Amino acid sequence: MLLKKPEIIEAILGHHQNFIHTINGLNETEFLSTPPGKWNASQQLDHIHRAVQPVALAFGIPKIFLKVFFGKANRHSKSYDGLVDKYHKKLQEGGKAKGRFIPKSIRSDQRKDWEDKLITNIERLSERIDRYEEQELDYYILPHPLLGKLTLREMLYFTIYHVQHHRALVLRNLELN
């Protein structure tokens, strides 16, 4: 079953607010403490921002350019669970962030600014999703650095799941410290 636009927007806003709430609840040590071989919470925040920003930008591109630059879908969109399964498979195969998606640490005094940037991008994305007809979410595609070509709906599913995944990592890493 495919999630509809209102459900997608609600999930994107809600899960990102939960992530920010989790980050806000961390003291300075928890925010900056890095378990061996893991990202700290500040890096998780930076990574989520780096992942959301290009999606928000892409949803602002005129549709004709999406079609010209990236093409159109030649298959139906996966379900939310199908997309999550594909992501887990890629992670199990050793997939990880590369290039511009590798985060930097954020200083504790910059936390609020980065949270505000993330909120701005999430709100911008939510507004831009509403400009699309339901069927257009399954027509246009975007490239994903790990998952390949995704329909817009699948990219939004990824955005929903991705923040939940990284929130869980923040919470798990707190237990490791």
pLDDT digits (tens, 9 = 90+) for 5-34: 999 999 999 999 999 999 999 999 999 998
What does the pLDDT read at residue 1? Answer: 72
Quick one: DSSP state of residue 44? H
String of DSSP letters for 143-158 = EETTTEEEEHHHHHHH
Phi then psi dihedrals of residue 144, to 5 deg: -115, 135
Q: Which of 24, 19, 48, 28 is nearest to 177 (CA)?
A: 28
Contact residues for 2 (Cβ-Cβ < 8 A; gap 6+): 77, 79, 80, 138, 153
What does the pLDDT read at residue 177? Answer: 65
Least confident of 33-37, 122-126, 154-158: 33-37
pLDDT per residue over 116-148, tens digit each?
A: 999 999 999 999 999 999 999 999 999 999 999
pLDDT per residue over 62-76, tens digit each?
A: 999 999 999 999 999
Spell out a b/e string for 13-33, using b for 16 or more CB atoms within 10 Å of the CB, else e: bebbeebbebbeebeeeebbb
Q: Which of 100, 126, 109 is nearest to 32 (CA)?
A: 109
Kindly report the number of other CB atoms within 10 A of residue 117's CB atom: 16
What does the pLDDT read at residue 174? Answer: 83
**CA 48 to chain CA centroid, nearest Å:** 6
Can you tell me the mean pLDDT for 22-48?
A: 93
SS3 at position 88? helix
What does the pLDDT read at residue 67? Answer: 95
- Domains annotated for the chain, with CATH where assigned, are 5-176 (1.20.120.450)
